[in-house]
Structure 1
Amino acid sequence: MTQIQQISIQEAEALLETEDVLLLDSRDQRDYMSSHHPKAMLLGEHNQEHLLMKTSKERPVMVYCYLGHASLEKARMFADFGFKYCYSVEGGFTAWKKQLQQAY
C-alpha cells in the first residue's frame, strides 16, 4: 500500500521544480477560479474518474485543499488506485498563499 506523504510548502515547491507532478486543487470551483497555484488543475467530479483511470500510476500526484486536511483523503484515493507517489500539502492553499504574500 502506498504511503501518503504530507509535505511542506517548501518541499512541494522543490518537487514541482524537479518532477512532472500532477498538482491538484481539491477546493471548490469558485475558490479555484478566484485564486490557485499556477500549475494546479481543479480536481472535481468532472475529471476525477478520468484522472484516476488515465494518468500514469508512476506520475507523482500532489493535492492541496483549503487547510491541508481534505487533501489527505484525496491523496489516499489516488494511492488506493495504485499511484506510487502521493502527496498532501500541509496547510493547504491558505499556507501557500500566505507564503507567497510574505515573499512580496
Structure 2
Amino acid sequence: MSFKHLDTDTLAQWLDHEEEVTLVDIRDPVSFADAHVVGATHLDNVSLTHFLESAPKQQPLVVVCYHGHSSQGAAGWLAEQGFSDVYSLDGGFTAWQQRHPEWVGQ
C-alpha cells in the first residue's frame, strides 16, 4: 500500500461538494490551534491510537503538514496501517492557506 499526492484545488472541490473525507493535520499543536483546514483533526502521538481504532479505513484520508513533505512519510505509514485511500496534500497547509482561505478554521 502507498499514498497518492493531492493538490489543494482537488481537496477544495471535495470539501465544496461535501465529499466524505478524513482530514488529519500533523503539525504542532500550537500551529493547528492557530489555523487548520476546516474539519481537520490534529494527529499526534497522543491521539494516534484512538484515531487508528476509530477512523474509517475505506474513506479517503488526507494528511496535512506545513509544506507537504512530512505528510508524505505519515501518509505512507497510515497506508501501511490499513487505510486504503491515503493522500498527502501537496504544498501542505502553507499552500492551502494561500489558495483556499475560505476553508481555514481555528
| TM exceeding 0.5 | yes
The alpha carbon displacement at 1:56 in A equals 2.3
Alpha-carbon separation, structure 2, partners of 1:100 and 1:59: 23
Question: CA-to-partner distance for each residue in 1:13-43, whole Å, 9 max, x for gaps?
Answer: 2233342111011100000111111111111
TM-score, normalised by the number of residues in structure 2: 0.86
The one-letter code of the counterpart of 2:41 is M
The alpha carbon displacement at 1:100 in A equals 2.9
Question: CA-to-partner distance for each residue in 1:45-96, whole Å, 9 max, x for gaps?
Answer: 1211111233221121101100000001111111001111000100000001
- Alignment-derived partner of residue 68 in structure 1: 68
Alpha-carbon separation, structure 2, partners of 1:14 and 1:49: 30
The one-letter code of the counterpart of 2:75 is A
- Alignment-derived partner of residue 94 in structure 2: 94
What are the ranges of 5 or more consecutive residues in structure 2 without an aligned counterpart? Answer: 102-106
Alpha-carbon separation, structure 2, partners of 1:100 and 1:58: 26
- 1:10 maps onto 2:5 in alignment: no
Q: RMSD of the alignment, in Å?
A: 1.4
Count the aligned residue pairs: 100
* Identical-residue share of aligned pairs (%): 33
User: Which SS does the other structure have where 1:20 is aligned?
Assistant: coil
TM-score, normalised by the number of residues in structure 1: 0.87
- 1:53 maps onto 2:69 in alignment: no
- Alignment-derived partner of residue 35 in structure 2: 35
What are the ranges of 5 or more consecutive residues in structure 1 without an aligned counterpart? Answer: none
